[in-house]
Every structure is written in structure tokens, then in C-alpha cells.
């Protein structure tokens, strides 16, 4: 038994896996530093070198055994998703945070172990390309194509596949000039050459940003102050001639469909401005996470279609789901989800609705919509790298499907997210050329 443990848990393999995982994950932390601290980190050069650091990480990974693959996945699980456990503190379960982090790490360790099971590098390449399209517990945020979001490469499976082929060439071709030539050709074939056109509404839109702590957001004494803040924002937007105002997820901390006086007031204001706000809905003894649109005195409700795993639904068989909810959530039931993705129009613009996690799912971008309006509450996870990873995923889908995303957020920055632009174009712009 002792020899077995030594074989699979050597310090060398653990360190190797950790270092490789840091190389591959560098875009998260360089991007996070750039967004939050600026200065030396707000640098196009760092953005340029980020994918090359990841490429070097993959180069080292391709030559690893399955144990180093396991530890690479293990540490990637931690570096990418440590923040998932932070929501436990709001349920009085802070003591479980280390266990949840280890569980997440183990799940992704197993996935990478499968990818590195055989020595054949082409097999490793195929499995690493496919891992981004396998969603454990219906959670799709591990996407290796994201490492190409910064810099000069095309952030899709083609870009990543050519990079992997170039890495294989470095190992398999003996002639150093041929291997260098093929590697460079593969890098050239993975470059971003074109950028997608980005759309705009064409009418004045206000993205509301709030910073309400999750500790107090759902306390009863803060309900009316938050509602009053929403009404004040609307009045200010009307006075400043905005035509559309977008509030974050659960900006109104109530079952809005039961708040008839508030509904009436919002309907009256909607003759002057279109209003989209997040709130809960209660109907037929079921709870929905919803977006409410008030427009020209009318109200429309759009319920969430894709629920957050282990946050809004438990992705387990019913008998396990009931036990899980009883033990950890005092018997609370899952949210009820919509049957389909929701669409609506504002001033003639057709918009796809997305509530938080939905904005990072490919189902929302089916048929390449021009516009997605996303509302989020990141108060569950801040401070952490979660908002940056969420933004990167949204930008990835915006790039892939040629979509502009209007994103209103509580807890982190609200912004308009457009397809990735050419790195060289941004450099020339920064030089005023």
C-alpha cells in the first residue's frame, strides 16, 4: 500500500501538475489583476504573452504521464473554481468550504486523468479538445479555448487544435528545422485574422451597476431601501432621456408578481422608459428566477431556462436531490425553470434574455442573436476571480456567435461585452495610429 501511494502521489508529479496548471490558468489572474489594479498589469504586452505562457504549459503537459495529468486537472479545478464554495457561507456552511474545493479539484483531476491515460499524444490532443464540451453536473465553465481570449489567437477549437498540432510536431519530428517550421505554421494557422462586427442598440440605454452585499441583500429591513433605489434610478434615467434601463438579477428582492402596487408604479413609469429588472416570481406554489420587462404600460415575465447547478437546482436523481436539499438547504426545493429561452423586443431590437449563468451557456446564443441582455448577481462570490471568468466566457460566446451582450451586474462591473477585437488593432489604437 505504501509503495502504491508513493507511485501515484510523488512530490515531483504534484509540483509538475501545479506548475503546469498555473501556466494554463495564467489568463485568469493576469486579467483579474489588469481589471482590478491597472497600472503595470493593464498592459497589452502582458495580454500578448498570456497565451504563449499557456502554450508552454500545454507543451509540458503533453509529455506528462497520467498522474501529472491528474494533478494538473486537480489544481486547475482549484485555480478556476475555488470561488464556487464561497456561497456556502450564506447558508451557514462555511466549514464545508475546504471540502467543496477538494471535491471540485478531484472531479477535474479525474477528467484530466482520462485525457492523459494513454501515452499517445494525438489521443491526449483529442481528449483535451473535447473536455471543454463535457459538462460535469451540467457546469460548463471549464473551457480550454478561453486561454486564447487574450492576445493574437483565434479563441475557438480551430485555434486550439492547431496549437496542439504544433506542440505534437515539436515532440514527434526529429529534424529541428522541420519541427520549428511546422510549429510556426501551426501557430500562424491559429491566429485571429478577422474580427466580428459588433452591434449597438442605437438608442440610449442605461446599465445599472449595484454593489449590495449578499449578507444583507435578502434581509427584510433592506427590501424597501432596495426598491426605492430602483425607483430612483428609473427617475434619473428618465430625466436623462434614456430609453431603456437594465437592472441586475434580483434587483427587486421580492416576488414581483405579488407586489401589485409596485407593479402598477413600474407600469406607469414604463410609458416614459422601458424597464428590465430581475426579481423572483411565485406561481402555483413554484418559485422562478425571472426578468420582468415593463414597456408601454405592459408587463412581461421571462423565467430562467438554465438553472445554476447546486445553486438553483440539484443535478442529481430525485431521491438524492431530496436528501441534499433537506441536509444542506433546510428542505428547500429547486427553482422551477422555463421551457425555452426567452426573447423580447425593445424599440424594434430583438433581444435574447439571459439571467446570470445562462449568459455563459451556448443555448442562449443559438442562431447567433445580435443582442443578449444578461442580468447577474455576483454578490455570492466577490471578492474573487469569478466575475472575470464569467466576463471571459461571455466574451468567448459573443466572439463565437457575433453577439453583443449588455450585462447588468450586482457585485462587479456592468458593461457592454462585444466580440474579441484584433490585438494588433488595439495596439495601433493605443498608439493613436
What is the residue range of 48's domain? Answer: 10-190
Give yes or no: residues 94 and 242 share one domain. no
* d(C-alpha 9, C-alpha 118), whole Å: 18
CA dihedral 49→51→55→56, nearest 10 degrees, is 30
304 is catalytic: yes
The alpha carbon dihedral of 16, 19, 23, 28 has a sign of positive
- What are 167-213's pLDDT values in tens digits? 999 999 999 999 999 999 999 999 999 998 889 999 999 999 999 99
- What are 105-143's pLDDT values in tens digits? 999 999 999 999 999 999 999 999 999 999 999 999 999
Q: Left if phi > 0, otherwise alpha if psi is -120 to 50, otherwise beta: which for 35?
A: alpha
* d(C-alpha 113, C-alpha 66), whole Å: 5
Q: Which residue has the higher pLDDT, 392 or 92?
A: 392
Q: Is residue 155 part of a domain?
A: yes
Mean pLDDT of 85-99: 93
Q: Is residue 209 part of a domain?
A: yes
Give yes or no: residues 26 and 109 share one domain. yes
Q: Is residue 291 part of a domain?
A: yes
pLDDT class for 315, splitting at 50, 70, 90?
A: confident
Q: Which residue has the higher pLDDT, 184 or 325?
A: 184
Give yes or no: residues 82 and 123 share one domain. yes
The C-alpha cell at 159 is 485555434
Q: How many domains are contained in the chain?
A: 2
Tell me, what CATH number does 234's domain have?
3.60.110.10
Beta bridge partners of 365: none
Give yes or no: residues 278 and 350 share one domain. yes
356 is catalytic: yes
Helices (H), 9-96: 11-24, 26-37, 44-62, 66-81
Give yes or no: residues 182 and 256 share one domain. no
Q: Which residue has the higher pLDDT, 322 or 33?
A: 33
Q: Is residue 349 part of a domain?
A: yes
Give yes or no: residues 210 and 171 share one domain. no
Give yes or no: residues 425 and 375 share one domain. yes
Catalytic residue among 100, 249, 312, 313: 249
* d(C-alpha 172, C-alpha 169), whole Å: 5
Whether a cis peptide bond, with omega within 30° of 0, leads into 383 is yes
Catalytic residue among 16, 206, 217, 304: 304
Q: Give, to the nearest 10 degrees, the angle between helix 11-24 and helix 66-81.
A: 50
> How much is the pTM?
0.95
3-state SS assignment for residue 267: helix
pLDDT class for 321, splitting at 50, 70, 90?
A: confident
Give yes or no: residues 163 and 221 share one domain. no
3-state SS assignment for residue 341: coil
Q: Evaluate if residue 274 carries a pLDDT over 70.
A: yes
249 is catalytic: yes
pLDDT of residue 331: 62
How confident is the prediction for the chain on average, in pLDDT? 94
3-state SS assignment for residue 160: helix
- What are 147-161's pLDDT values in tens digits? 999 999 999 999 999
Amino acid at each position: 500500500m505504501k509503495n502504491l501511494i508513493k507511485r501515484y502521489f510523488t512530490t515531483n508529479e504534484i509540483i509538475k501538475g501545479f506548475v503546469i496548471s498555473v501556466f494554463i490558468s495564467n489568463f485568469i489572474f493576469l486579467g483579474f489583476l489588469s481589471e482590478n489594479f491597472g497600472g503595470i498589469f493593464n498592459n497589452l504586452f502582458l495580454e500578448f504573452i498570456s497565451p504563449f505562457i499557456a502554450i508552454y504549459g500545454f507543451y509540458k503537459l503533453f509529455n506528462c504521464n497520467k498522474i501529472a495529468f491528474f494533478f494538473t486537472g486537480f489544481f486547475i479545478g482549484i485555480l478556476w473554481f475555488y470561488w464556487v464554495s464561497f456561497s456556502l457561507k450564506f447558508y451557514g456552511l462555511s466549514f464545508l468550504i475546504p471540502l467543496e474545493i477538494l471535491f471540485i479539484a478531484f472531479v477535474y483531476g479525474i477528467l484530466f486523468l482520462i485525457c492523459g491515460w494513454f501515452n499517445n499524444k494525438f489521443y491526449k490532443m483529442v481528449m483535451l479538445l473535447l473536455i471543454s464540451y463535457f459538462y460535469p453536473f451540467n457546469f460548463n465553465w471549464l473551457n480550454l479555448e478561453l486561454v486564447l481570449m487574450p492576445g493574437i489567437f483565434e479563441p475557438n477549437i480551430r485555434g486550439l487544435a492547431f496549437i496542439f498540432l504544433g506542440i505534437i510536431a515539436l515532440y514527434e519530428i526529429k529534424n529541428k528545422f522541420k519541427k520549428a517550421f511546422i510549429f510556426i505554421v501551426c501557430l500562424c494557422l491559429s491566429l485571429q485574422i478577422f474580427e466580428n462586427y459588433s452591434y449597438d442598440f442605437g438608442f440610449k440605454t442605461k446599465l445599472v451597476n449595484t454593489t449590495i452585499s449578499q449578507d444583507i441583500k435578502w434581509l427584510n429591513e433592506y427590501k424597501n431601501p432596495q426598491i426605492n433605489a430602483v425607483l430612483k434610478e428609473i427617475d434619473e434615467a428618465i430625466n436623462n432621456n434614456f430609453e431603456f434601463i437594465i437592472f441586475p438579477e434580483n434587483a427587486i428582492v421580492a416576488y414581483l408578481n405579488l407586489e401589485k402596487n409596485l407593479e402598477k408604479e413600474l407600469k406607469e413609469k414604463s410609458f416614459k422608459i422601458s424597464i428590465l429588472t430581475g426579481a423572483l416570481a411565485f406561481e402555483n406554489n413554484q418559485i422562478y428566477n425571472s426578468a420582468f420587462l415593463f414597456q408601454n404600460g405592459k408587463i412581461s415575465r421571462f423565467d430562467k431556462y438554465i438553472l445554476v447547478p447546486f445553486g438553483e437546482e440539484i443535478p442529481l436523481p430525485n431521491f438524492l436531490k431530496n436528501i441534499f436539499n433537506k441536509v444542506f438547504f433546510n428542505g428547500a426545493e429547486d427553482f422551477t425553470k422555463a421551457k425555452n429561452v426567452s426573447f423580447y423586443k425593445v424599440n424594434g431590437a430583438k433581444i435574447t434574455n439571459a439571467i446570470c449563468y445562462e449568459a455563459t451557456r451556448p443555448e442562449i446564443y443559438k442562431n447567433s442573436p445580435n443582442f443578449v441582455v444578461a442580468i447577474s448577481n455576483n454578490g455570492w462570490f466577490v471578492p474573487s476571480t469569478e466575475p472575470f471568468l464569467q466576463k471571459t466566457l461571455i466574451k468567448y460566446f459573443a466572439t463565437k456567435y457575433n453577439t453583443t451582450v449588455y450585462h447588468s451586474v450586482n457585485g462587479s462591473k456592468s458593461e457592454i461585452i462585444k466580440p474579441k477585437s484584433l490585438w494588433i488593432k488595439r495596439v495601433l489604437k493605443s498608439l493613436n495610429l
